[in-house]
Structure 1
């Protein structure tokens, strides 16, 4: 297995991106061609402070701006889809671990659906929101005490993980032999990513350390003898990401233009499979 340092070898310049959410700082997005993966450089030493913002909506339940309202509306719809997905797996004990649980909405839906829930969320603010919904979240994945789960989910989390290789091995160890790992991440090969380039909101530097493709996810998990069994689209992501990207690019809200780009991205992805975000169903070989 390669070490994480090797991801930073032989990198080629790809894009220069700005942190539009917190700092306005500039970061290089470099390409590792062997993995078809993009890498944010440099990684700040104090990465935690880049999550401290009312604009970082996954750590709040904000409904104030247009983007907040769209996000919450889409979230409520996708929560039902996510529950339907995990219910499609034949598990006896129905144990689930959600990593990066945010404010606990997904786990609440799972609990109401009869699942035995465990969640991990490093943000204290997000954990406090979850507590108000009677969802107690762990701060670190190590606090799971090496239990094993039927299902482990990471909804837009893997791109945030600093110690990527070690973390993937930990996920494998926490998964039951016949369990399923469900990972959703942005796809830098999508049309909306290509269209918006350095304004593409899903680059989200420096919080997103890695930017994945189908090839990179497959290669990363094959290193721990895990196999991508199925890939599913997240069609709403192209619209929300395009809304933010238009704002970054033009300094204005352009919902009609954003909807058009999101629609075009999904239309092209019907042929290529390269949706704005993808869900990977991953199991042990």
Structure 2
């Protein structure tokens, strides 16, 4: 099958990969998919596992993250049905769960990365290593903030997630959108392809197709307007070897402006419930 795009791992190994289009789910998959993914996360530049706050990009990320945490907790509160029970998959260093806990949520989280779990524990947030190690219970809200694209055995993972929702539970998923303007502009240098850590690359149609199989329906799609700026900063570095802050800001802004009409933002949040 002819690849949709050829790109490489810009942040850790420099290895090359292909993105292959799946017409059934209208999504891209990274090929080949390495058997051992752990070594591709072994980098201090992987900010969601480190709480890094040294470079300008780190500082911008942490500033936006702080604002986003407040918005995320407000979002799940709006769509919560029943008890305020929350499971966060791919919880990183635990900041979202900590914010939710302070807002009255009964929280649990999953994070396979040991260093990230240790940082979360230092904040008073204990995390499980996998979904399988969690107690057998259901949750009113399950969140995956830029995590679904990382999960191997995707369909099995989705089935497992849906089975852990209460009957009126809500699934909240944030993922990059390969149909956004900034994705098209940067092509193989688009940082949100992030191969091979990102095994899957979604569009709005992808999410609808995938989750419909498990009786889930998208009830709301919300833009993540800050993502285009952060992704463009990284993409400029991958493409030119320089930060190019002004150009990255311009591309990020233009991507958001284009999306006002196209509705194709750099990343989207999907709110799903049982159909």
Question: TM-score under structure 1 normalisation?
Answer: 0.95
Matches of 2:6 and 2:55 in 1, distance apart?
28
Any conservation in 2 of the 1:153–1:182 contact (CA below 8 Å)? yes
Q: Which residue pairs with 2:30 in the alignment?
A: 40
Following superposition, the deviation at residue 143 of structure 1 comes to 1.7
Provide, for residues 77-119 of structure 1, a one-character-per-residue CA deviation record: whole Å limited to 9, x for no partner: 1101101101112433200000000000000000000000000
Q: Which residue pairs with 2:202 in the alignment?
A: 212
Q: Which residue pairs with 2:234 in the alignment?
A: 244
Provide, for residues 31-58 of structure 1, a one-character-per-residue CA deviation record: whole Å limited to 9, x for no partner: 1123220110001111111001001000
2:164 is matched with which residue: 174, 184, 191?
174
Following superposition, the deviation at residue 67 of structure 1 comes to 1.4
Following superposition, the deviation at residue 30 of structure 1 comes to 1.1
Bigger mean CA offset, 30-39 vs 194-203? 30-39
Q: Which residue pairs with 1:135 in the alignment?
A: 125
Q: Which residue pairs with 1:62 in the alignment?
A: 52
Q: Which residue pairs with 1:7 in the alignment?
A: none
Q: Which residue pairs with 2:154 in the alignment?
A: 164
Matches of 2:121 and 2:193 in 1, distance apart?
30
Q: Which residue pairs with 1:266 in the alignment?
A: 256
Any conservation in 2 of the 1:12–1:32 contact (CA below 8 Å)? no
DSSP 3-state at the match of 1:220: helix
Unaligned 5+ residue runs, structure 2?
Answer: none
Q: State the number of aligned residues.
A: 275
Following superposition, the deviation at residue 66 of structure 1 comes to 1.5
Bigger mean CA offset, 155-164 vs 24-33? 24-33
Matches of 1:226 and 1:89 in 2, distance apart?
15
2:140 is matched with which residue: 126, 130, 150?
150
1:26-105 superposed matches below 5 A: 26-105=16-95
Matches of 1:214 and 1:24 in 2, distance apart?
29
Q: Which residue pairs with 2:107 in the alignment?
A: 117
Unaligned 5+ residue runs, structure 1?
Answer: 1-10
